[in-house]
Amino acid sequence: MAESSKRTLFDKIWNSHVVDTLPDGTCVLYIDRHIIHEVTTPQAFEGLRAAHRPVRRPEATIAVVDHNIPTTDRSQGIDEPDSRLQIETFEANVAEFGVPYFPYTDPRQGIVHVIGPEQGMSLPGMTIVCGDSHTSTHGAMGALAFGIGTSEVEHVLATQTMLQKPSRNMRITVDGQVGPGVSGKDLILAIIGQIGAAGGTGHVIEYAGEAIRALDMAGRMTVCNMSIEAGARAGLIAPDEKTYAYIKGRPHAPHGEAFEQALAWWRTLPSDEGALYDREVHLDAATIAPMVTWGTSPEDVLAITGRVPLLESAADGAAREALARKFDYMGITPGTPLAEIGVDVVFIGSCTNSRIEDIRAAAAIARGRKVAPGVRALVVPGSGLVKQQAESEGLDRILTEAGFSWREAGCSMCIGMNPDKVAPGERCASTSNRNFEGRQGPGARTHLLSPAMAAAAAITGHLTDVREFL
Amino acid sequence: MQPFTKLTGVAAALPISNVDTDKIIPARFLKIITRAGLGKGLFDPLRYRPDGSEEPGFVLNREPYRHAKILIAHENFGCGSSREHAPWALMDFGISCVIAPSFGDIFFNNSMKNGLLPIRLPREICDLLMADAAQGDNARLTIDLHAQVVVRPNGEEIHFEMDPLRKHLLLNGLDDIGQTLQHAPAIDRYETARQAAQPWFPTTTLTDPAP
């Protein structure tokens, strides 16, 4: 077989979704699943309305509210007028256009990237889009999934396709086994630290290797979730027996004979042996420690045993100025050991780390311990069903007895569009995905880390090597 | 969409890399249901002090850059969130061209769908154009999309690469949906063939379809 006939997972999914090719190589790419939420759709529905266009396939679409939704009791509705207006507008739009919708009173409501896999709506070999950059999460199922803007949301609603050129293939192989206390979050933070925040630009990243295969589905979702933080629009992990076991029996997944048919196709998807990648990166899992960010880009990341860099580490004047701004914004002194940095707030949640496995990891550290005095700590499950599951396992009791606040599902403090915000100057240990200036609220200081590391920081009141708790 | 043909104006230099879309327009400005009025929140964390007053050192708070039509930045401009509010905010402020060595992929796509032209040029060229921009109103840049050149104040022309389809759509102010709907029969055929070959492909419903 010729080398060129060997195809990657990305190539196979892409090729099976090309509807038409334009003379310049742009493809009309078919989209199997479209997930929509309240923030990036009002202008798209307005566009459809103005052009008298229907939603082409409402039954390929699922609607849910997550970004704006309060995580405290919402049985009486939503207090903030602008959030309420956006949610009411969304509910009116999905009703008018006939799109299936999980309202916030439904236990199936949750973060877009949690409910897709949870419901069996995100499956191997699919193309999946959503007006949210963390759509890359669904790549953990072996699906080609990427975030799109509002114009593209309107385009997909109207045509069930996207106009796009194929991305380049990149493979990141993490060989070997991770040590204790090292999770999927630490792997992806280490990867971003190595290739940088723009390292994956223009590429789809396929994650491979023993350490990736060893991750459970939640860990794989965490890895794929932050592909965008490495600049890649999509991350992919080849489906395997863990994937199929995860899917089987989920409400919207194929059942019975249909499942067997699907499975036969899914098994053909993994990259061919010898398929070529435009770029290859290797990491050794054994060298990866629990990670934490110190600055205002996800690439500003180090092992918890490290120290804040020195100003002298900057390559040139512009880099030095940028570094000085990061130190100033973060309120940290160059050279400080990371484990000496105190925290005011701990947030366990977001599309990166709010699945049942994440909550179990946090509860395992919190069990029988107390949140440090003066630290505000909250746990926000990724969906109503994750919340129910955690409660059936008694995890909510462990966490609330330790002093954590136990909330309703939503995006919450990852983006601060609801009342869950970090106050100006406050420092937050957060399991979310972005430490950008102002991300968790104006003036908020964010340190990204894993759920177990976040729980450890809540207990001690400062960034902490979770391995001390094992 | 507004066509983009030729643009002459003041350029503002923002010599920062990894300018994320949260910095371009923070999340609290996204709670709107229209596209209008986002210019007031553009670069909010850089442009305003915590008390809401202007940060006098920020380029867009200084003359003549308050009227900038072009922005020049460093690597990975527009990384992060998919929010199309970022190009909407730039356009609402009056900026319809951003020049940088590289861009976040989603921002890059979003921009062109709104008549905002993102131009990729090497870092050293960007630094050269930033030096031009520092001369303010005496040193306007011209962007000619048809010719695919940036014209410096000294008349030197710098070529930039541009996807031919995107160029066509931008020059004519055409949106993608009309373009794609010309392929509607092919989409129909694809759906029919797929339904026949892979009938198990599940659809979404309000009630759990599980038995």
Residues from chain B that touch A150, judged by Cβ atoms under 8 A, are: 84, 110
Task: For CA atoms A250, A252, A255, A261, give the dihedral sign.
Answer: negative
Ranges of residues in chain A with a pLDDT under 70 are: 1-4
Question: Is B135 among the domain residues?
Answer: yes
User: What is the C-alpha to C-alpha distance for residues A413 and A441, in angstroms, rounded to an integer?
Assistant: 8
The pLDDT, as a whole number, for residue B208 is: 65
Distance from CA of A62 to the nearest CA of B (A): 6
B87, closest residue in chain A (CA to CA): A149
Check whether residue B76 and residue B117 sit in a common domain. yes
Residue B64, preceding peptide bond in cis (omega within 30° of 0)? yes
Question: Is B60 among the domain residues?
Answer: yes
Check whether residue B72 and residue B160 sit in a common domain. yes
Question: Is B22 among the domain residues?
Answer: yes
Residue reference for tokens 């990867």 = A191
Check whether residue B180 and residue B132 sit in a common domain. no
Question: Is B182 among the domain residues?
Answer: yes
User: What is the C-alpha to C-alpha distance for residues B79 and A435, in angstroms, rounded to an integer?
Assistant: 13
pLDDT tens readout for residues A115-168: 999 999 999 999 999 999 999 999 999 999 999 999 999 999 999 999 999 999
Structural domain count, chain B: 2
Check whether residue B18 and residue B117 sit in a common domain. yes
The pLDDT, as a whole number, for residue B2 is: 80
> Pick from B28, B106, B177: which is nearest to A417 by CB?
B28
Check whether residue B135 and residue B204 sit in a common domain. no
Print the domain residue range for B197: 175-211
Mutate to test the interface with A, among B84, B110, B124, B167 (most CBs of A within 10 A): B84
ipTM over 0.90? The verdict is yes
**Element housing A361 (H / E):** helix A356-366
Check whether residue B158 and residue B60 sit in a common domain. yes
Question: Is B203 among the domain residues?
Answer: yes
Direct distance between the N- and C-terminal alpha carbons of chain A, in angstroms, rounded to an integer: 50
Question: Is B206 among the domain residues?
Answer: yes
Check whether residue B132 and residue B205 sit in a common domain. no
Question: Is B1 among the domain residues?
Answer: no
- Beta bridge mates, A62: A35
DSSP SS3 for A101:
strand
Across the interface, do B20 and A434 touch by the CB < 8 Å criterion? yes
What pLDDT tens digit does each residue of chain B (211 aa) get?
889 999 999 999 999 999 999 999 999 999 999 999 999 999 999 999 989 999 999 999 999 999 999 999 999 999 999 999 999 999 999 999 999 999 999 999 999 999 999 999 999 999 999 999 999 888 899 999 999 999 999 999 999 999 999 999 999 988 899 889 999 999 999 999 999 999 998 887 776 664 4
Residue reference for tokens 């309060």 = A70
Number of neighbouring beta carbons within 10 Å of residue A102: 21
The pLDDT, as a whole number, for residue B209 is: 62
pTM summary value? 0.96
The pLDDT, as a whole number, for residue B178 is: 87
Q: Which residues contact A431 (CB under 8 A, 6 or more apart)?
A: A185, A347, A348, A349, A350, A352, A353, A354, A358, A448, A449, A450, A451, A454
Across the interface, do A439 and B113 touch by the CB < 8 Å criterion? no
Check whether residue B114 and residue B209 sit in a common domain. no
Across the interface, do B82 and A86 touch by the CB < 8 Å criterion? no
Check whether residue B118 and residue B183 sit in a common domain. no
Q: Which residues contact A465 (CB under 8 A, 6 or more apart)?
A: A181, A289, A290, A304, A305, A339, A456
Contact A2, A275 (CB under 8 A): no
Check whether residue B68 and residue B149 sit in a common domain. yes
Listed residue (A95, A109, A140) closest to A411, CA to CA: A109
Question: Is B78 among the domain residues?
Answer: yes
Q: How many CB pairs under 8 A join A and B?
A: 208
pLDDT tens readout for residues A417-457: 999 999 999 999 999 999 999 999 999 999 999 999 999 99
Check whether residue B125 and residue B21 sit in a common domain. yes
DSSP SS3 for B160:
coil
CATH of the domain at B20: 3.20.19.10
DSSP structure string for A201-237: TTEEEEEESHHHHTS-HHHHHHHHHGGGGGT-SEEE-
Check whether residue B190 and residue B140 sit in a common domain. no
CA atoms within 13 A on the CB side of A89: 21
A165, closest residue in chain B (CA to CA): B163
Listed residue (A130, A49, A54) closest to B34, CA to CA: A49
